[in-house]
């Protein structure tokens, strides 16, 4: 009988481990496939489109993306505009690094599972070149554009200890202080499990 992979609780944004840069992953570690499966289960349970290992307290350069449902929900006449390089991504990216960026900075609304209930506008590069590995150790190097690039950039920020609110000006962050306090206190009550940091 195959064990069912359970979703992991997500850290609240104020947890100190989210501010640390995560090291690369040793692909020989025996639990790596299980870690990827746990990230996938957590992402599906929280109904997100991308997750980084630090978001569940694992300080590793490991992200998992599944934005295929977003692709399917986009009206057909807008898909090429939002997903210019394909039909969305569903993959792990291990030891990923951005090699280059191109195009204008595109502003768009983002959410973050560590900030339940918060949506802000973030400007990110239209396209990124990424090098990464999969579970088999195969190395990929590819350009991603549009929403794919945005999700990769967002999740790799987490690997580097950067949160999406860091892209806002100090004045705009100040306007969010009340909402951030409510999130940290657990008042937003998301549908998925959270681990709140208590000072």
Task: Tell me, yes or no, whether 109 lies in a domain.
Answer: yes
Predicted local distance difference test score (pLDDT) of residue 198: 77
Number of domains in the chain: 1
Q: What is the mean pLDDT of each run of 10 residues along the chain (199 residues)?
A: 82 97 97 97 97 98 97 94 93 98 95 97 97 97 97 98 97 95 94 89
Domain-located, residue 187: yes
The answer to whether residue 78 is domain-embedded is yes
Does the active-site annotation cover 155? yes
At residue 4, the pLDDT reads: 82
Query: Residue 1: what pLDDT?
Result: 46
Active-site residue (options: 38, 40, 110, 155): 155
Domain of 48, CATH number, reads: 3.90.45.10
Instruction: Answer yes or no: is 14 within a domain.
Output: yes
Q: Which domain holds residue 86?
A: 10-195
| Inside any domain, residue 136 | yes
Cβ–Cβ < 8 Å for 152, 100: no
Q: Please tell me the pTM assigned to this model.
A: 0.95
- Does residue 40 fall inside a structural domain? yes
pLDDT, position 117: 95
Q: Is 5 inside any structural domain?
A: no
pLDDT at 39: 98
| pLDDT value of residue 199 | 52
Domain assignment present for 166: yes
């Amino acid at each position: 009988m195959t064990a069912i992979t359970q979703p992991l609780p997500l850290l609240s944004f104020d947890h100190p481990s989210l501010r640390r840069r995560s090291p690369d992953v040793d692909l020989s570690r025996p639990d790596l496939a299980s870690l990827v499966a746990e990230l996938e289960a957590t992402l599906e349970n929280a109904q997100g489109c991308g997750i980084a290992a630090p978001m569940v307290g694992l300080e590793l350069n490991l992200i998992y993306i599944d934005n295929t449902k977003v692709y399917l929900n986009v009206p057909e006449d807008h898909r090429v505009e939002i997903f210019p390089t394909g039909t969305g991504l569903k993959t792990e990216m291990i030891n990923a690094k951005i090699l280059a960026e191109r195009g204008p900075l595109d502003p768009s609304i983002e959410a973050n599972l560590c900030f339940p209930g918060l949506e802000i506008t973030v400007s990110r590069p239209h396209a990124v070149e990424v090098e990464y590995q999969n579970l088999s150790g195969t190395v990929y190097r590819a350009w991603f554009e549009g929403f794919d690039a945005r999700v990769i950039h967002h999740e790799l920020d987490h690997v580097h200890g950067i949160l999406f609110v860091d892209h806002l000006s100090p004045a705009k962050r100040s306007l969010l202080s009340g909402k951030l306090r409510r999130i940290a206190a657990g008042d937003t009550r998301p549908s998925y499990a959270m681990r709140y940091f208590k000072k």
